[in-house]
Amino acid sequence: MNKKSKIYIAGHQGMVGSLIKEKLISLGYFNLVFAERSALDLRDQQATITFIKEIKPEYVFLIAGRVGGIQANIDSPGSFLYDNLMICANVIEGSRISGVKKLIFMGSSCIYPRLSPQPMREDYLLSGSLEPTNEGYAIGKIAGLKLCEYYQKEYNANFISAMPSNLYGPKDSFSLKHSHVLSALIRKIHNAKTKNQDSLTLWGTGEARREFLYNEDCVEALIFLMHNYNSAEHINVGSGVDYSIQELAGIIKTIVGFEGEFQWDTTKPNGMPQKLMDNTKINHLGWESKTSIEGGISRTYQWFLRHVQERES
């Protein structure tokens, strides 16, 4: 991939996709192509394949997908499976038909079994049952990475897959219904602070553990892998450190300046007990995350104040 290469970013309006677009432009890549959601529904097979055949990209970043928090996944498992299944299948098949030189598909750490040994190695995939609260989403992502793997074997297509841990950062969704845990906590704790609440009730026991990756670090990793990784096997991308939700809430509480106490609603689900990935493979290639959890949350909160809080006030 060089500065003249024609590069298609599927999902350029989302959190990670928009940052990939900005990063590639800043690095001097000028031949970037994309399609607005209103102009191209990636769930539409004929439209997607026709679009890719017409633009003839050399490289593809497949970042597009339907995402949401635990409640959204519980409420709409069929929609999460269908949308993610169709998007990845259509873009991957369209890329194969049009002769794309290389494609990278971004999945999720949700692909691993609910009770997977920790840290989760790549070869733990499909070794046990998935977490029920996001099974539909996970199956869609597993299908995408398996398509890349099988297309390498059957068609010799250089299609690779990267599985990042829980992502957060500027441009994230802060919707209480659709956001992931870290951005949802920022929103809830900020709201509690502005209302001068003495306490705030959060979901679950707070004991579940999660690994978090700052979205700009994820973008660096995806571009790095486009240049340096060609294996059919998917590869983990994470920070290598996990935190309990209680610990995470405490960090956010300090950064936001909330002085109340947390109450835990143990009738609500925790999700997977722990999600910590083994990042040995990508670390050996020469990539490691750079952003500390405190630094990343501080930057994310400042972005929230400028772009979300100001807009709604």
The full length of the chain comes to 313
Choose among 244, 171, 89, 292: nearest CA to 81. Answer: 89
Q: Is 59 a catalytic residue?
A: no
Cβ atoms of 162 and 221 within 8 Å: the answer is: yes
User: What is the DSSP annotation of 257-311?
Assistant: T--SEEEEETTS---SSEE-B--HHHHHHT------HHHHHHHHHHHHIIIIIHH
Q: Is 222 left (phi over 0), alpha (psi -120 to 50) or beta?
A: alpha
In the set 8, 29, 59, 137, the catalytic residue is 137
What structural domains does the chain harbor?
A: 7-169+212-240+273-291 (3.40.50.720)
- Provide the b/e sequence for 277-308 (b: ≥16 CB within 10 Å): bbbebbeeeebebebebeebbbbbbebbeeeb
In sequence order, which ranges of 122-279 are alpha helices (DSSP H)? 135-155, 181-194, 215-228, 245-256
Choose among 55, 66, 50: nearest CA to 32. Answer: 55
Q: What is the DSSP letter of 131?
A: P
Q: What pTM value is reported for the model?
A: 0.94
Assigned token pair, 186:
């920022």
Residue indicated by tokens 């068609």: 155
pLDDT of residue 156: 97
Backbone angles phi, psi at 59, to 5 degrees: -135, 145
- Helix, strand, or coil here: 141? helix
Our separate counts of H helices and E strands in the chain read 11, 12
pLDDT of residue 310: 65
CA distance 304 to 301: 5
Per-residue pLDDT of the chain (313 residues), as tens digits, is 999 999 999 999 999 999 999 999 999 999 999 999 999 999 999 999 999 999 999 999 999 999 887 888 889 899 999 999 999 999 999 999 999 999 999 999 999 999 999 999 999 999 999 999 999 999 999 999 999 999 999 999 999 999 999 999 999 999 877 778 999 999 999 999 999 999 999 999 999 999 999 999 999 999 999 999 999 999 999 999 999 999 999 999 999 999 999 999 999 988 889 999 999 999 999 999 999 999 999 999 999 999 987 666 5
pLDDT of residue 234: 98
pLDDT of residue 118: 96
> Counting Cβ atoms within 10 Å, is residue 192 exposed (0-12), middle (13-18) or buried (19+)?
buried
